[in-house]
Amino acid sequence: MGYPPRRRFRPEFLVCRRAGYPGVVNSQTEPDSDSRPGLEDRAAARLGAPEGGLLAGPSLQALLETLMSARAPGRVLLSPPLMPHWGHRIEDRGGRALPLRDEAPHGLASLRAVLAEAQPGDQVWLDLGDPAAAGEDAVDAFLALAGGLPDLLVVLLRDDAPARRRTQRLAVDRPGQVLLIREGAGAYALVRPALVRALAAAADWRPAGGPFQPLAGAGGSLLVLDVDGVLIDPGRAFMEAVAGALGELAPDLPWRDEDYLSLKRAGGFNNDFRLTAAALALAEQGGLPYRGAALEPLEDRIRAFEPRCRTAVRAHYARTRSLERPMVARERLAAVPELAIFTGRPPEELGFAFELLGYTLPAVADSAPHLRKPRPEGLIQLADAFRAERITFVGDSLDDAAALRGARALRPELAWRFAAVGPERGRFAESADPQAAGLVDLLESGYLS
């Protein structure tokens, strides 16, 4: 990987907001929230990024220069191809550049040593486009360990190089600090919104043009599965956890199983913390029993109640999750080459699901607002991670179907298909959607081949 001679950069950058309509918004002055979708930039959504989570610039080199301006380098460990140019630049800035001597396709031993001796302010820059770069599994293992060190910044360059089977797109929203930089017609960085704001400020932010395209698929297929109702029969586990939480938070609240089911059918309540908060907000307005009243005017109250509801529902779910049962053994999925999960469960509850199933799969969980169904960003991230051009999502709810159709609208160049399962599939499936009682029936029917 070659670089031009050293010089100072004062690049123009485009700070992109999440989905909606094309436009440029200065994320330094806007909060990191999802409250204004009409102002968010479509480019961010097409990459599965949250509001304020994308920074586009003229080149990869300009983005790295901006990173050094935004964060004074301390120790920076570099892939060997980066040392000749960037080692000098880091030293010029008063940092200490160290090479990763033993980077190889099957291991990152020196990186593991870095984690054992990590200091606040350390950075690791990996050029995954280099032929000698570590393989996907080794990078995955390193990032999982690095996620426990919130002060360590990991910069991944060119994870979308043609030779790589998978990208590291999912790493950005997982624990830790990961900055993903790609180049093409210009370059862009994906990272948490707080660091985007710091980078934009360091670059003397001002709007700039320069459209760029998301990563093209490599021709492969991906089967994405919901968890509850597809891989696991939750029984009454979540229904009783919500009822218990409401009994604790509002003992006099009139709550019925039918209210739970009605809110689920209304859409937007794939997450039961949010559903519980909606019940409290409705009760304030005399809206229970729930008969389909509009919920948009209650959004502020729902958000205000959600932290308390999260704590209460988790406590009751610890008791009720014994009611869950696995539905699909791993052997049933053996013939599917690429599998992933997109779930409304938060990460800790996804961990319980994996324990119950006895196997794990790559997954996007409800770990951030932009990854919460019915938003499509989780599906878009999975398509990117697997470099897939044909994506089938198997789900059992209106929110699952809406997420798939949202992904199709944002990335129409990919082939998206929704497959509906479960007893209520007729409520949300379209005529062209494959339908079956469950995932096993879909697999046996050949619809997913």
Whether the pLDDT of residue 221 is over 70: the answer is: yes
Average pLDDT estimate for 25-53: 57
Whether the pLDDT of residue 62 is over 60: the answer is: yes
Q: What is the average pLDDT score of the chain?
A: 85
Average pLDDT estimate for 237-257: 96
pTM (2 decimals)?
A: 0.88
For residue 216, what pLDDT is reported? 65
Lowest mean per-residue pLDDT among 61-65, 323-327, 413-417: 61-65
Average pLDDT estimate for 87-95: 93
For residue 23, what pLDDT is reported? 24
For residue 4, what pLDDT is reported? 39
Write the pLDDT tens digit of every residue in 229-238: 999 999 999 9
Average pLDDT estimate for 341-369: 96
For residue 213, what pLDDT is reported? 63
Average pLDDT estimate for 364-379: 96
Lowest mean per-residue pLDDT among 39-53, 170-184, 185-199, 327-341: 39-53
For the chain, which domains are there? Answer: 14-202 (3.40.640.10), 220-233+325-445 (3.40.50.1000), 237-323 (no CATH)
Please, which pLDDT band fits residue 27 given cuts at 50, 70 and 90? very low
165 vs 435: CA distance, rounded Å: 31
Whether the pLDDT of residue 11 is over 80: the answer is: no
Whether the pLDDT of residue 196 is over 60: the answer is: yes
Average pLDDT estimate for 84-99: 93
Write the pLDDT tens digit of every residue in 74-86: 899 998 899 999 9
β-sheet bridge partners, residue 306: none
Please, which pLDDT band fits residue 205 given cuts at 50, 70 and 90? low
Average pLDDT estimate for 116-120: 81
For residue 291, what pLDDT is reported? 87
20 vs 409: CA distance, rounded Å: 11
What are the structure tokens assigned to 375, written together?
A: 């938003």
